[in-house]
Structure 1
Amino acid sequence: MSTRLEGKNALVTGATSNIGRAIAEAFAAVGAHVVVTGRSAGRGKEVVDGIRTRGGRADFLQADLDGSAAASQTLAQEATRVLGGRIDVLVNNAGIFPPNNTATADAKTFDQVYAVNVKAPFFLTAAVAPAMAEAGSGAIINLGSWIARLGIPISALYSSTKGAMETLTRAWAAEFGPQGVRVNAISPGVVLTPAPGEIHPGEVMMKGTPAGRMGTPDAIANAAVYLASDESAFVHGIVLDVDGGRTAVAVIAG
């Protein structure tokens, strides 16, 4: 087992499926003690049991991050207790993606998406970062999205929340970086775990990219391990694109 995060305590939100689960599993595989959070206790137990079976350290905390300061503060307190008094790494991954466009997004949906995708990580960071700053070290990783910077004709609401998280990444890097807390973000491309034999519509979005295919959650998890580890000690305030070249490169077919 690698020891890149040996001795580190990590809190990963939305860690019962897809990208969050992959990050939690990757952190545990390189030595971190991970608190897995999510709304489903059953899925949380599955993730934790799998990590422990492979020799890693993990615990589950059920949490519904609804955007209230109280919910975020409670999770921060409980995670700090479970992790023995210290959180070294926070991954703000939990989020919702409603399939709507601007005309069909009602006020209730608007408020819910901003509550989960922006307010919850804002208040969770507010509850965790000061203790990191007092300790003189820590790493916060936010999840952005490629569609925050490359416009597509759907999901404007979701895109705007991810743009907010990328902006907060830079602001928090300026606010907490001088106290030793590194804040960075990952911007995933089209990332899904494909079902055997299934052709997903997301494949179309990756045509004309260097990768030419969708990514898997492991690709994002590997980037998160780097940003959480001491290997990225000189990295502050970046948005790391892990998107197969979608936002940076156009491949011209011959």
Structure 2
Amino acid sequence: MTPSIPLTGRTALITGSTAGIGRAAALLLAEAGAEVIVTGRDISRGNDTVATITRAGGRARFLAADLTDLASLRALAEAAGAVDVLVNNAAVQPLSPAVSQDIDGFDAAIAVNLRAPYFLTAAIAPAMLARGSGSIVNISSMTATTAMAGFSVYTATKAAMEALTRTWAAEFSPSGVRVNAVSPGPTRTEAVLTAVAEALGAGGEAQLGELTLLGRMAEPREIAEVILFLAEDRSSYLTGAVLAADAGRTAA
């Protein structure tokens, strides 16, 4: 793989990049020339992602991190060094009606989906601000604006991330750091397919896809393409935006 122009010479840190949308984004940003820092708790999956990138001629390294642990989060930021593109992707999806949501699942979702990106961004952004450039991409969800029973905790964290996207844009963009978000619709990741099977049973995948105007779920690579757009200079006049990559689900 010969690195193309868009992200050559830049470093991208992508949380939760050992599977799903995060892994697809890691592969795609590496194709675009970035040196990718792959993160997650699963060392085997992390090393596999790095190996896939390097076999194709890209550059990547893996940093294990437990995003529920603030000490691990700080160590990740320190080990990453200077970062040009930060993709806050890692998330957990507790599936439960509000009346039966357990506190452990609630706390885990807050820790991974909200606290971790908040403090990782706070640790990474100062160097971006000092350089006067950088792109932060937050991964939201269509559930932030579309009601889905059983996803109350997940929905709340994603709505909060969209609010932070706007606030961080107001804080960082005058210094040259852009902050945007991608709001995916139903995507064929292992985590989503598992949740759909639990919630809807057999045929749930088709049911969920039919809710979109295109009548299908997204492939992770399709969401990664939107992340790449926000990471590179083609989107240089976008900040504080939330791009809906949901096949029209929230528009119709």
TM over 0.5: yes
Root-mean-square deviation (CA, aligned residues, Å) is: 1.6
Whole-Å separation in 1 of the counterparts to 2:236 and 2:38: 24
- In structure 2, what is the equivalent of residue 252 of structure 1? none
> Where do 1:1-254 residues align within 5 Å?
1=2, 2-66=4-68, 68=70, 70-80=71-81, 86-193=82-189, 201-249=204-252
Q: Give a deviation string over 1:116-170, Cα, whole Å, max 9, x none.
A: 1100000000000111001100000001000110101121111100001111000
Aligned-pair distance for 1:200?
5.2
In the TM superposition, what is the alpha-carbon distance from 1:98 to its structure 2 partner? 1.5
User: What amino acid is the match of 2:58?
Assistant: G
- Calculate the TM-score normalised by the size of structure 2: 0.92
| Normalised TM-score (structure 1) | 0.91
Q: CA deviation at 1:72?
A: 2.0
Q: 1:203: how far off?
A: 2.5
Partners of 2:140 and 2:161 within 8 A in 1: yes
**Counterpart AA for 1:65:** L
Distance in 2, Cα, partners of 1:182 & 1:200: 40
CA distance in 2, matches of 1:46, 1:91: 20
Number of residue-to-residue matches in the alignment: 241
Q: Which runs of 5+ in 2 are unaligned?
A: none
CA contact (8 A) 2:21 2:189 kept: no
Q: Distance in 2 between matches of 1:52 and 1:208?
A: 38
- In 1, the alpha carbon distance for the partners of 2:239 and 2:206 equals 32
The secondary structure found in structure 2 opposite 1:7 is: coil
- Contact kept, 8 Å, 1:67 with 1:116, in 2: the verdict is no
Identity %: 47
SS at 1:35's partner residue?
strand
Contact 2:140/2:182 (<8 A) preserved: yes
Shift of 1:202: 3.0
- Greater per-residue helix proportion: 2
Whole-angstrom distance in 1 between the partners of 2:169 and 2:28: 24
